[in-house]
């Protein structure tokens, strides 16, 4: 396993929609393992493939999605199949360091995905776990959590976001 550099705000790959995964193979399994290692090394609780420069529909979360307990889950081609209620979630992002704000999310979701062994899975998630899955699926669609903020808040972040974008350019 190896660490993969996390792309920062301003990198165009973060705004692109990831393509569906057609074949689950060993290469995809290695990517999932590397993403889990990268997420954990970055003290994250979720990471989408866009954030490591891969435009494939795969994300990882730092909890066992089926039990809500310890472990990590890799979700290939995840789809939210049900949404219930709303909540406010305090969110940050490995691609937008040091920026945190409240985002409105669904309080409970049902999600289906394929695991790295090619098996179809489904689970329900609520609270923080639901917010993390929604946040990461947004990434796969080229949407960042700051896009959910009111325009006034985004304007207040303009200077910080420009600084992060400059760092992203230096990395490219």
Residue positions annotated with a catalytic role: 136
Q: In angstroms, rounded to a whole number, what is the distance separating the alpha carbons of residues 38 and 46?
A: 10
For Cα atoms 6, 113, 8, give the angle at the middle one, nearest 5 degrees.
15
Q: In angstroms, rounded to a whole number, what is the distance separating the alpha carbons of residues 36 and 38?
A: 5
Q: Which residue in 70, 72, 68, 71 sits closest to 58, CA to CA?
A: 72
What is the C-alpha R_g of the chain?
Answer: 15
How many CB atoms lie under 10 A from the CB of residue 137?
22
Residue 141 structure tokens: 């669609």
Our CA dihedral for 139, 143, 149, 155, rounded to 10 degrees, sits at 110
Q: In angstroms, rounded to a whole number, what is the distance separating the alpha carbons of residues 31 and 51?
A: 12
Q: In angstroms, rounded to a whole number, what is the distance separating the alpha carbons of residues 14 and 51?
A: 6
């Amino acid at each position: 396993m190896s660490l993969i550099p996390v792309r920062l705000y301003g990198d165009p790959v973060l705004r692109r929609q990831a393509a569906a995964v057609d074949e689950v193979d060993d290469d995809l399994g290695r990517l999932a393992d590397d993403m889990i290692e990268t997420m954990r090394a970055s003290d994250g609780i979720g990471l989408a493939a866009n954030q490591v420069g891969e435009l494939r529909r795969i994300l990882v979360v730092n909890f066992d999605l089926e039990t809500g307990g310890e472990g990590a889950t890799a979700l290939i081609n995840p789809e939210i199949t049900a949404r219930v209620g709303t909540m406010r979630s305090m969110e940050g992002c490995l691609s937008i360091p040091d920026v945190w704000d409240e985002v409105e999310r669904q309080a409970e979701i049902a999600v289906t995905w394929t695991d790295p062994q090619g098996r179809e899975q489904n689970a329900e998630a609520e609270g923080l776990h639901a917010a993390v899955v929604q946040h990461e699926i947004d990434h796969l669609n080229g949407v960042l959590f700051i896009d959910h903020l009111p325009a006034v808040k985004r304007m207040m972040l303009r200077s910080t976001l420009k600084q992060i974008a400059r760092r992203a350019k230096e990395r490219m």
